[in-house]
Every structure is written in C-alpha cells, then in structure tokens.
Amino acid sequence: MLLLIAVFALLTAFGCTAGSLYDPKPWAAPVFLADETVVIGTDTGHIVVGNIVTGQELGRCETGEGRNSIRAIFGAPLLHDGRIYAGGFDGVLYAINPDSLLPESEAECLPFFEADSAIVGGPTLTPDGVLLLGTEGTTDTERGTLYAIDINNASTLWTFEADSQIWGTPVIGDGLVYIATLGGTLHAVHMEESPGTEAWRHQAEAGIGGMTLHEGVLYAGAFDNNLYALDAATGAPRWSAPFTADNWFWAAPLITGDRLFAPSLDHSLYILDKDTGAQVMDPVMTGGAIQSNPALTGSHISIANEEKETWWIDPETGQGIVGGKLPDPVYAPIVAFGESDALFFAQDGAIYRASPSLRQPVRVFPVDN
C-alpha cells in the first residue's frame, strides 16, 4: 500500500498524472486570412487570429468541451467569404466573423453545425458551396460520419457512414470525395450522382494517415508502413506494389515535378518517382520521426521532425541540410510563408518562422501564452 502511495506521490510530483492522457497537442496548420494575418485552431480549443509579423493577437474565441472534457481544434480552419470555419473536438462546426473577435477574449465561438461526435480533421469546401466534414463517430459505434452541409443554411445535404473513425480532412476530386479512416479503409464517395454512396474503397492493413490528390492519382500513406498510389476514379493501384517504409506514413506526401516526397515515422523522407513508386535517390535520413506535412518553400522542401530539427531539402538533388532547432516537435502541417520561409506550429503552442539561411527559428506568434 505504501508502495502504491509512494508511486502515486512520485508520479504527481513529476506532473505525470492522468492529465497527460487527455493532453491534446497543437495539430492544426495555420491558415492565412490576409498577407500577414493567420487563423489558428489551438489545442486548447481556441480559434485565434493574429498578425504573424508583429506577433499581435487580433482576436479569439473559445469552443466547447468534447469527450473526456477535451477542448481542442485539431483540423486546419477553412476560410470562405470572409468567415472562418473550424471543426471542434466538441463535435461542433463553428463559423466565425473574424472582425467580431476581440483579443484575449473568452467569448464562445459561434456554432454553425452540430455533428454526431468529435471532429478531428478540418472542413473542406466544394466549388458548389458544400462543406464536407468527417467525424470520429460515437463511442458506441466508432464509425465516423462524413457530412455534406449546405454552407448557406447549415442544412445536411447527405451523409455517409465510414467503417471507422475519420480523423483526416476530406479530399475533393472529380465528382468524388475521399476520406481515410483509422480502420484502414479509404472511401471514395459520390458527391454528384447518387451523392453519399460509395464509388469504391481501398482497404489497407492499418489506419490511413495523410492523403494527396495529384493529376488523378490519390497518394495515401498508412500505418501499415505502406504508401499507396490509387487511381482516383476507380481505386485501381497505379504502382505495381505499394512503397514500404520501416515505420508508419503519417503525413501527406508532397509532389513537385515528377517526384514524390514522402515523410515517414522511420525518420526518413523518401524521394520516389510519382508514376512508378520507385526510389529515385537515397532517402533523406533525419534524426527523428516526421509527423507533419512537408511544405514547398521557395526552392526547398521544408520538414520538421520529432527531434525538433528543421530540414531543408533541395528537390532537384535530394540533398538535405539541417536548419535551426525548434524548442519542441511539430505535428501541425508546415506552411510556406513569403518567398522562402516556413511557419512551424510547435508543441509549445507558438508559431516559429524559419528559412534555410536562418540559423535559429524565430518565435513570431505565441498562440497560447
């Protein structure tokens, strides 16, 4: 008994209580509202608008609590017609007028649509004004729902029930929307003819991470260590075999020219021929797992890893150089800024600006200070 009490006391002393189980991390990519103004969804459930150059907060509002009393926004906000759309972990899609926000405010964000369960990915908008949004499903079913919502009146146009939780942002193609699930199913769902019905599905051996749609091919990385290339219209494999790494593919791959750059949790950035899936040069071996989506920043591809390193890779030569070190790892997708800079939303809740020439990343916006 004494041992148990002592263990608990030690754990508490080190701040190792169960709070860490319910501790969300910054996950959403900053989105540009104007040249220097960004919108950020935070791990504390705030939607924050700020100036990335001056570091000044322009306004914020707060979302509600989801399961396990978690208040967070994991998906990147969407901007449309002067409004910010962001999905909360409380299962509510918010629509906010940025001009109505006040700095350091504790005002509640304006709800737009209520879904059945937590929203982890971000919303996507079709050219026809249909918002698409995935949920992780209720704890009873654990089957996520894809919602198609009329952006004008928040009415549900149709829904599609996935095989398991949806954590990603839906990707829109030609008449189809693609959603990836943690159960390993990639669903292609009709949006126009028979909307809400499944066009095709691809089953991976484990959950699917980031997806990239490029010239009619859907590239999807999975937790079974495979990177798949599928025909977006039919779901047929485009490569003779999926490309296999030593660990999961979590981030979405990036394509520039004929090359595909795929970061893996095995610490490597793989450089493949996008048509065949063959490696065209040696992978860039970094010192840590890569979770965040890479970004093309000027003439370099920028990545960050679990060891807080920033890397800058020349897409032509495949040569990578290590940049300055961040104070914390980055899970949120990296965002290009200016001609050659990148923005990193790190785990300490601040945004850092870095470039290949900059020795040390500069803390430009303390989102949650």
Partner 1 sequence: MEVVGDIFIFLLLQPMLNGLVMLYSLLFESMALAIIALTVVVRVAFYPLTIKQLQSSAKMQALQPQMQEIRNRYKNNPQLQQRETMKMYREAGVSPLGCLGPMVVQFPIWIGLYWAIIKGLGNLPGSFVYLSQRLYSWLPVGGEVLPLNTEMPWIIGTLDLSAPDPTPLMPLLVAASTWAQQRIMQPPAMTDQQRQQQQIMLFLFPIMLGFLAFTFPSGLALYWFVSNFITIGMQGFISGWGNLIPGRPRVTANATTPPTPQLETRSNDGSEPGMDGEDRRGSDSARTRRTRTRPRRRRRPRR
Strand 176-180 and strand 185-190: pairing?
antiparallel
Please give the Cα distance from 361 to 354 (Å, whole number): 5
Residues composing the chain: 369
Type of residue at 45: G
Binding piece for partner 1, criterion CB under 8 A, among 66-74, 123-131, 143-151, 350-358: 66-74
Closer Cβ to partner 1, 89 or 178, answer by number: 89
Please give the Cα distance from 6 to 197 (Å, whole number): 56
Residue 25 touching partner 1 (CB under 8 A): yes
Q: Which of 37, 105, 159, 247 binds partner 1 (CB under 8 A)?
A: 247
Residue 227 touching partner 1 (CB under 8 A): no
Please give the Cα distance from 41 to 347 (Å, whole number): 13
Please give the Cα distance from 206 to 226 (Å, whole number): 9
Site for partner 1 in 253-282 (CB under 8 A): 265
Q: Which of 8, 102, 156, 236 binds partner 1 (CB under 8 A)?
A: 8
Closer Cβ to partner 1, 36 or 368, answer by number: 368
Burial 268-299 (b: 16+ CB within 10 A, else e): bbbbbebeebeeeeebbebeebbbbbbbbbee
Binding piece for partner 1, criterion CB under 8 A, among 8-16, 56-64, 143-151, 319-327: 8-16
Closer Cβ to partner 1, 11 or 362, answer by number: 11
Smallest distance from partner 1 to CB 72, Å? 8
Q: Which of 13, 21, 339, 369 binds partner 1 (CB under 8 A)?
A: 21
Please give the Cα distance from 264 to 242 (Å, whole number): 14
Q: What residues contact 77, with CB distance under 8 A and at least 6 apart?
A: 28, 31, 39, 40, 41, 47, 84, 85, 86, 122
Is residue 116 within 8 Å of residue 98, measured between CB atoms? no
Is residue 118 within 8 Å of residue 89, measured between CB atoms? yes
Is residue 194 within 8 Å of residue 212, measured between CB atoms? no
Binding piece for partner 1, criterion CB under 8 A, among 67-75, 272-280, 313-321, 353-361: 67-75
Is residue 253 within 8 Å of residue 226, measured between CB atoms? no
Closer Cβ to partner 1, 139 or 357, answer by number: 139
Residue 331 touching partner 1 (CB under 8 A): yes
Smallest distance from partner 1 to CB 287, Å? 13
Handedness of CA 284, 285, 287, 289 (dihedral sign): positive
Residue 246 touching partner 1 (CB under 8 A): yes
Would you give the DSSP letter of residue 292?
S
Would you give the DSSP letter of residue 68?
G
Would you give the DSSP letter of residue 293?
P
Please give the Cα distance from 136 to 66 (Å, whole number): 12
Residue 65 touching partner 1 (CB under 8 A): no
Q: Which of 65, 114, 205, 258 binds partner 1 (CB under 8 A)?
A: 205
Residue 13 touching partner 1 (CB under 8 A): no
Please give the Cα distance from 35 to 38 (Å, whole number): 8
Type of residue at 329: P
Q: Which of 99, 104, 140, 215 binds partner 1 (CB under 8 A)?
A: 140
Smallest distance from partner 1 to CB 265, Å? 6
Residue 80 touching partner 1 (CB under 8 A): no
Binding piece for partner 1, criterion CB under 8 A, among 33-41, 169-177, 241-249, 275-283: 241-249
Residue 51 touching partner 1 (CB under 8 A): no
Residue 308 has which token pair?
A: 């807080």
Q: Which of 9, 11, 278, 322 binds partner 1 (CB under 8 A)?
A: 11
Q: Which of 23, 114, 174, 282 binds partner 1 (CB under 8 A)?
A: 23
Q: Which of 185, 291, 305, 355 binds partner 1 (CB under 8 A)?
A: 291
Q: Which of 112, 147, 178, 248 binds partner 1 (CB under 8 A)?
A: 248
Contact residues: partner 1, CB under 8 A: 1, 3-8, 10-11, 16-18, 20-25, 27, 67-68, 70, 72, 74, 120, 139-140, 142, 165, 167, 182, 184, 205-207, 222-225, 246-248, 250, 265, 289, 291, 306, 331
